[in-house]
């Protein structure tokens, strides 16, 4: 099943779907939703040097940011070429808003 992710992707087409699926497995423990459904992922770039993820958190003070970043690195480490480091850049601009959430996330949270 082909899934279109709400984030930009630059890299080999063959890795697009595995990367989307890997990120969908990363859950934000506070919301019990994936980082993709919450709209936390802004983009993924995969080239010959690294797999770079640009993402945010729902709050600058998110107490679980380190855990989520580690989970992203672990999940992408399973699908990215083994020689590539997975780097996660936490960004605060543009700020996260509930408008970035998927329809599934909005329904799940009763919004």
Question: Residue 28 sits in which domain range?
Answer: 8-105
Asked if residue 110 belongs to a domain, the reply is no
Structure pTM? Answer: 0.92
Question: Residue 52 — φ and ψ, nearest 5°?
Answer: -110, 130
Does 100 map to a domain? yes
How many Å apart are CA 12 and CA 105, to the nearest integer? 28
Is residue 38 assigned to a domain? yes
- 65-105 pLDDT per residue, tens: 999 999 999 999 999 999 999 999 999 999 999 999 999 99
Tell whether the model's pLDDT for residue 111 goes beyond 90: no
**Could you read off the pLDDT of 33-72 as tens digits, one per residue?**
999 999 999 999 999 999 999 999 999 998 999 999 999 9
């Amino acid at each position: 099943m082909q899934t279109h992710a709400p984030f930009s992707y630059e890299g080999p087409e063959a890795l697009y779907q595995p990367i989307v699926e890997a990120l969908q497995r990363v859950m934000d423990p506070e919301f019990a939703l994936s980082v993709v459904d919450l709209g936390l992922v802004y983009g993924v770039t995969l080239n010959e040097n690294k797999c770079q993820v640009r993402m945010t958190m729902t709050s600058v003070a998110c107490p679980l940011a380190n855990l989520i970043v580690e989970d992203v690195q672990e999940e992408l480490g399973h699908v990215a070429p083994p020689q590539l480091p997975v780097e996660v850049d936490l960004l605060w601009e543009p700020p996260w808003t509930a408008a970035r959430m998927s329809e599934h996330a909005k329904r799940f949270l009763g919004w």
